[in-house]
Amino acid sequence: MRHTLKAQQFDAKLISVLFKRADELQALSIDKRRHQKLGGLLQGKMMFLVFFEPSTRTRISFAAAGQHLGMQVVSTENAQISSSLVKGESLEDTIQVLSEYQPDVIVMRHFEANAAERAAAVSGVPIINAGDGAGQHPTQALLDLYTIYREAGSMTGLNIALGTDLLHSRALRSLIYLLAKVGGNHLILVSPKELRLASDVKTYLKKRGTTFEETDKLEYALKKADVIYWNRIQKERFTGEIPPQTFVIGPQHLPLIKPEAFIMNALPRIDEILTTVDKDPRAAYFRQAGNGMFIRMALLEWTLELL
């Protein structure tokens, strides 16, 4: 079975296949005369969306991706409080029961790291990790890298600034793993000391030969970057005092940013990028979210062995 559990499982060849297919799907969606062809690609297939943690973009983009391809979609949200988990059922039992209902794929978000791997170990159908606690978010990483490819015209040879909660963000961590896989980029890691990237991820970068630097100088990073990936402080991951968001990108920073550079954000955006930045053509985060549906369409085809 083709599970999607971690960003590290994707190599350059598979990434290229997925991106090429996502490009084709984007073109099909724009051409109304060809759009009708999408509906029959996965006709008769069924996808379960099982979300134990809140989600807007990931859950709905997967649902839209499946339905555009002709799939039946069965969805549950807030399963942490609306499923038999409340009664004490284990994740493993839940997944084995769902497998008996004969879906073709289960897309799961969970509040615990490594939950997707536990699910895959007992599932009778492919599992797609839609985010597991502070662990990973591989489909977000794929759409993020795809956005870099679309906006910059390349995935290598770039200075990429990443901030600000590097310690807790599963989206940032997963993207960093993918960037290390494709290679050829320099990472500028921007954060306060208490939110720096975990040492195991930095070790992974060194082993893959990806250069990086750590800084708490926002203006320095913005001037140097070709890509600016800016995320919120992950307040839901803290058990103690939450540090304030001190690295905020506002209109006063726009003159510092290269004309050809662009700003990304996994969303939701809270206070790390001011809304007054949105009208700048270099603000790519809404285009980034739109790219997610097409990458997930391509991933569903790959999961069901049609790519």
Active-site residue set:
57-58, 87, 109, 137
Question: CA-based diameter of the chain, in Å?
Answer: 57
Which ranges of 213-305 does DSSP label H, i.e. alpha helix?
A: 218-224, 285-303
Give the Cβ contact number of residue 24 at 10 Å.
13
Q: Tell me the three state secondary structure of residue 68.
A: helix
Burial class from Cβ neighbours inside 10 Å (0-12, 13-18, 19+) for residue 256 reads middle
The two structure tokens encoding residue 149: 């490819």
How far is Cα 188 from Cα 184, in angstroms, rounded to an integer? 13
Q: Phi and psi dihedrals of 285, rounded to 5?
A: -70, -30
DSSP state of 55: -
Beta bridge partners of 107: 49, 128
Q: Tell me the three state secondary structure of residue 42.
A: coil
